[in-house]
Amino acid sequence: QRVNVTVRSGLPMVLSGSAEPCAQLIVSSIGVVGTAEQNKGHSARFFDVLTAQLGLGPERIVIRFYPLEPWQIGKNRTVMTFL
């Protein structure tokens, strides 16, 4: 219920000056990605899955974490603060 995934393949991307295949994962969450310690653990698990599934080396993957507040997400005609 609280995870949404969007995959956009085939986009032109350059990572570290190279246009070789790469991936960017953007993770936004309420109360889950707010600290370096939390994100260190998430990062390790995401890298394990992404390297295995995509066949990319970890140097070709970037993860961006965005902590959100409940009032920043609208759902069911309100915001998450009230759900």
| Single pTM value for the model | 0.87
Domain ranges of the chain: 26-82
pLDDT for residue 1 is more than 70? no
Of the candidates 13, 25, 9, 11, the one whose C-alpha atom is nearest the C-alpha of residue 58 is 25
d(CA 49, CA 54): 8
pLDDT for residue 62 is more than 80? yes
d(CA 62, CA 14): 11
For 53-66, b where at least 16 C-beta lie within 10 A, e where not — what string? eeebeeebbebebe
| pLDDT, tens digit (0-9, with 9 covering 90-100), for 42-61 | 999 999 999 999 999 999 99
Looking at the structure, give the CATH architecture of the domain made up of residues 26-82.
2-Layer Sandwich (3.30)
In the chain, pLDDT over 70 holds for what percent of residues? Answer: 98
